[in-house]
Chain A
């Protein structure tokens, strides 16, 4: 069931990127970065089982941010990534602060169950948030340079995209899991989390290559 939902989610995310690109061109990709940063800040804390292995929920959004980074590099070169990094950083931090702030208000007696669920949800764990943000930003920078370099050597979009994401996803998964979970789960689970995250990211990245092709064709 979760695998089917993940598949639908991935399709929706990539469709959204294409629509935004069609409507707003380059600015649409930045709009997606803001949207992705916001949604990722909320959904990051839920863990789900995919084929009996545990993973965090925001993985498709997280991977799609790497894809839009590659789309920007494809069209505008690696310098464009600086702006993307600032947008993701500011959006994520703003969303985190504002959402945590909203949980500080005293809840009304009306709809108390919902208010309590809200407060529990938005007492957001800063460790996981920072782990996600740091690993994502570092690896987007690294990935964009690697992608650009591979594009110049191989000149094939799918090779550059998959190869760069295979390398950076592996490092990103290690950094995220170590920063987010070390000390709170045992070593076997740490290894499981890294492997599952890595495999899912590769699967999602492969589908994302279609977006880069379509963007390239539309030019």
Chain B
């Protein structure tokens, strides 16, 4: 059942990238990226059980952000790339600050939701910091690593997967250690780190035909 939900979640995310690009072009991709940044931050707090594997729920939204970035990088100009990075950094920080502020407010007597908001965002601020730092770090280094790998790899599609696979090693280590060190046992952290990494690479491979299709769907507009 959870595997099916995971697949549906992934298909919705992939279709939203496809349709947003088709209907609203780069502006739509920028807005979708911002929504995905929000979903990525929030869903990073939940660890799900997928069969015998435990993994963080933000994998799909994270790969969606990376995929949108590859589309912007390959299909549009430098200005759009910088706008994307600026918007990503701004929205990550703004959403985090607003969630922390929202948690600090004292709830009213009848409120039942406030305790959950406080427990999630304030009680686990390390997950919030780790998510924001890793996604910004990934986006900032992606282009350099991609340009480094391009001459070595065979096709752009493989290069993109290799680039992400390489960056995600560091990303997964930072995320798991910063978020869960002292909260979970070392075995559990190692398991999460390894499964998260594998799942991200797998989802990236599934996303790659869509990214390739969108990049090649129109002439490069620089």
B111 at the interface (CB under 8 A from A): yes
A126 at the interface (CB under 8 A from B): no
**Interfacial chain B residues near A48, Cβ < 8 Å:** 105-108, 111, 114
Q: How far is the CA of A1 from the CA of B114 in the complex (A)?
A: 16
- Once the chains bind, are A38 and B120 in contact (CB under 8 Å)? no
Stretch from B86-94, B136-144, B209-217 at the A interface = B86-94
**Interfacial chain A residues near B90, Cβ < 8 Å:** 16, 19-20, 23, 31
- Once the chains bind, are A104 and B184 in contact (CB under 8 Å)? no
Interface size on A, residues (CB 8 A): 53
**Interfacial chain B residues near A95, Cβ < 8 Å:** 35, 38-39
Q: How far is the CA of A104 from the CA of B113 in the complex (A)?
A: 18
B134 at the interface (CB under 8 A from A): no
- Once the chains bind, are A110 and B184 in contact (CB under 8 Å)? yes
Nearest Cβ on chain B to A123's Cβ, whole angstroms:
10
- Once the chains bind, are B114 and A113 in contact (CB under 8 Å)? no
- Once the chains bind, are B91 and A47 in contact (CB under 8 Å)? no
A35 at the interface (CB under 8 A from B): yes
B-contacting residues, A23-75, CB 8 Å: 23-24, 27, 30-31, 34-35, 38-39, 42-43, 45-49, 54, 57, 61
Nearest Cβ on chain B to A44's Cβ, whole angstroms:
9
CB contact between B95 and one of A35, A119, A120 (< 8 Å): that residue = A35
A12 at the interface (CB under 8 A from B): yes
- Once the chains bind, are B111 and A120 in contact (CB under 8 Å)? no
**Interfacial chain A residues near B188, Cβ < 8 Å:** 110
B202 at the interface (CB under 8 A from A): no
**Interfacial chain B residues near A42, Cβ < 8 Å:** 42, 99, 102, 117
- Once the chains bind, are B48 and A108 in contact (CB under 8 Å)? yes
A188 at the interface (CB under 8 A from B): no
Give me the interface of A with B, judged by CB distance under 8 Å: 1-2, 5-6, 8-9, 12, 16, 19-20, 23-24, 27, 30-31, 34-35, 38-39, 42-43, 45-49, 54, 57, 61, 87, 91, 94-95, 98-99, 101-102, 104-111, 113-115, 117-121
Give me the interface of B with A, judged by CB distance under 8 Å: 1-2, 5-6, 8-9, 12, 16, 27, 30-31, 34-35, 38-39, 42-43, 45-49, 54-55, 57, 83, 86-87, 90-91, 94-95, 97-99, 101-102, 104-111, 113-117, 119-120, 123-124, 180, 183-184, 188, 192
